Amino acid sequence: MASKNDIIVGLDIGTTKICAIVGQLAENGKINVLGMGKAASAGGVSRGMVANIRKAEIAIREAVEEAQRQSQVAIKNVFVGIAGHHIRSMQHRGTLSRRNSFEEIKQEELDKLEQEMQYLALEPGVEILHVLPQDYRIDDEDGVKDPVGRMGVRVECNYHIITGQTAAARHIFEAVKRAGLEVADLIVEPYASASAVLSQAEMDAGVALIDIGGGTTDICVFEDGSIRHTAIISIGGDRITKDLKEAFGILPEQAEIVKVNYGSCYPTESMKNEVVVVPGLPGRKSKEISRFAIAQVIQARMEDIIERINFEIEVSTMKNRLAGGIVLTGGGSSLANITQLVSYHTGMEVHIGTPGQRLGKGMVDEVRNPMFATGIGLVLRGFESTARFDVPENTPLVREAAKPKTETPEVVVEAPHETEPQKPGGIFGRKWTGNFGGKLMNDFKTWMKDGEDFTNES
């Protein structure tokens, strides 16, 4: 996975937190994390989508500034995740008829076939985010993975196409732009998470990745090395927190602490003798809450989420062919006994996936936690993208040499990006083809020129 741009920044805009991760490509293909910054979303994001642009902008600035301080890299562009219930996937078959069957099939021909998928008829307000080839058919031969260099007259390809709402993408663009950054690419979050936690062997065998985040639960189903189904459920860990708050009449902050430190997906008899003491409001008594009751509330909500997960796996028609079972990741996967509960209700083998296998030496060990799977995945997908397209580089910060050593080095302040002239070839100065949300990027450029803005924020 070679790239001429060796520093990539992934920006995970989540419901509960916004996280920026600065990664550098190591010689062994792994990622060295140079810095990481995170900030509470503080109402700027709801169910995985930017709801309040101003609040999201503030949180993005805070996260990026911390990542920049740790890494000493001047962050200019970011690879951003997109999620939300509006994300959909479908299958489509493309066909290429060749005039000369004695000439080898070239990558340019496959790129052209892939680009044609961007012209599929979709409902208004929906755009294609990813066009992902699954397998090819050359004349009468099925199951071809790499047609380049082979010969044939008729080349067909099954594509997995992921779509999303244009309005949701525009809110992301605007929040990132106001924070003084450029969006290098939009990447669907479960697709990013999969690259961080799944091995090639798991994807070949067949596996369902479930990323339980703060506001959404993201699903990606793989078989024979290719993605087969993508879905996003608009329920996540924050719903469990809200359930605990309402059930026991405690503050949201207290409910989150109770969930993380004392929560479990399975109530047991021994829990009936254990209580959690929660401080009361000023002038009021503390509350004693049974751990058994806490587990009951969590179990009820998790079973609701698992039911929806099971439905999406059934819809994929792959359930009986997933030898790799289910891999859980994301912050919600840290709940005690979650693997047992998911396995019981799905009848599948379940284990926790972490991004540690894709990480080399780094300054931030915290990112090995499953809750950072999406951020690490965005960095990995970013390197894959830069191997195909030109992306402006994030470069080391420049210090003023004349400053005394006792003073804090000053950060070079970049001019606001909106004042810079647009480069040819799309809003980011590169030629976009079928993959990586290209049509959406160009449509956004047109919309920006029309002078539309977001003055009415909720």
Of 16 and 398, which is predicted with more confidence?
16
Angstrom distance (rounded) from CA 232 to CA 140: 36
Average pLDDT over residues 170-185: 96
pTM above 0.85, yes or no: no
pLDDT at 442: 56
- 194-227 pLDDT, tens digit each: 999 999 999 999 999 999 999 999 999 999 999 9
Supply 17's token pair.
Answer: 């937190």
Q: Are 191 and 162 in contact (CB under 8 A)?
A: yes
pLDDT at 26: 85
Average pLDDT over residues 224-253: 95
**CB-based contacts of 314: which residues, under 8 Å, 6+ apart?**
none
Angstrom distance (rounded) from CA 327 to CA 202: 9
**CB-based contacts of 300: which residues, under 8 Å, 6+ apart?**
243
Residue 7 sits at φ, ψ, to 5 deg, of -130, 120
| Domains parsed from the chain with CATH numbers | 89-164 (3.30.1490.110), 237-295 (3.30.420.40)
pLDDT at 280: 84
Q: Which amino acid is at 35?
A: G
Average pLDDT over residues 13-28: 92
pLDDT at 53: 96
Residue 394 sits at φ, ψ, to 5 deg, of -90, 125
Per DSSP, 44 falls in state S
Burial environment of residue 48 by CB neighbours within 10 A (0 to 12, 13 to 18, 19 or more): buried
Map tokens 């690259």 to a residue.
Answer: 195
Q: Are 127 and 181 in contact (CB under 8 A)?
A: no
Strands 7-13 and 77-82, by their bridges, are parallel
Angstrom distance (rounded) from CA 192 to CA 189: 5
Angstrom distance (rounded) from CA 27 to CA 264: 41
Q: Which amino acid is at 160?
A: H
pLDDT-derived band at 29, boundaries 50, 70, 90: confident
pLDDT-derived band at 37, boundaries 50, 70, 90: very high
Each residue of 368-385: b (16+ CB within 10 Å) or e? bbbbbbbbbbbbbbbbeb
Average pLDDT over residues 45-72: 95
Average pLDDT over residues 142-155: 91
Average pLDDT over residues 149-175: 94
**CB-based contacts of 154: which residues, under 8 Å, 6+ apart?**
95, 96, 97, 98, 137, 138, 139
Supply 353's token pair.
Answer: 């996936």
- 79-131 pLDDT, tens digit each: 999 999 999 999 999 999 998 888 999 999 999 999 999 889 999 999 999 99
Q: Is the pLDDT of residue 58 over 50?
A: yes
pLDDT at 427: 29
pLDDT at 395: 67
- 333-355 pLDDT, tens digit each: 999 999 999 999 999 999 999 99
- 269-325 pLDDT, tens digit each: 999 999 999 998 788 889 999 999 999 999 999 999 999 999 999 999 999 999 999
Per DSSP, 82 falls in state E
Supply 83's token pair.
Answer: 């999620």
Among residues 76, 75, 10, the alpha carbon closest in space to that of 384 is found at 10
- 353-410 pLDDT, tens digit each: 999 888 987 777 789 999 999 999 999 999 988 766 556 667 676 543 334 444 433 4
Average pLDDT over residues 186-197: 95
Show the DSSP H helices in 327-422 as ranges: 338-346, 373-386
Count of other CB atoms within 10 angstroms of residue 297: 22
pLDDT-derived band at 63, boundaries 50, 70, 90: very high
- 404-456 pLDDT, tens digit each: 444 433 433 343 444 333 333 332 233 333 344 455 555 555 544 454 444 44
Per DSSP, 156 falls in state E
pLDDT at 441: 53
Map tokens 């927190």 to a residue.
Answer: 241
Burial environment of residue 133 by CB neighbours within 10 A (0 to 12, 13 to 18, 19 or more): buried
Each residue of 319-351: b (16+ CB within 10 Å) or e? beebebbbbbbbbbbbbebbbebbbebbebebe
Mean pLDDT of the chain: 85
Cα angle 246, 346, 311 (rounded to 5 degrees) comes to: 75
pLDDT at 5: 62
pLDDT-derived band at 458, boundaries 50, 70, 90: very low
Angstrom distance (rounded) from CA 231 to CA 452: 30
- Nearest-Å Rg of the Cα atoms of the chain is 23
279-285: Cβ within 8 A, 24+ apart: 279/254
Average pLDDT over residues 56-66: 97
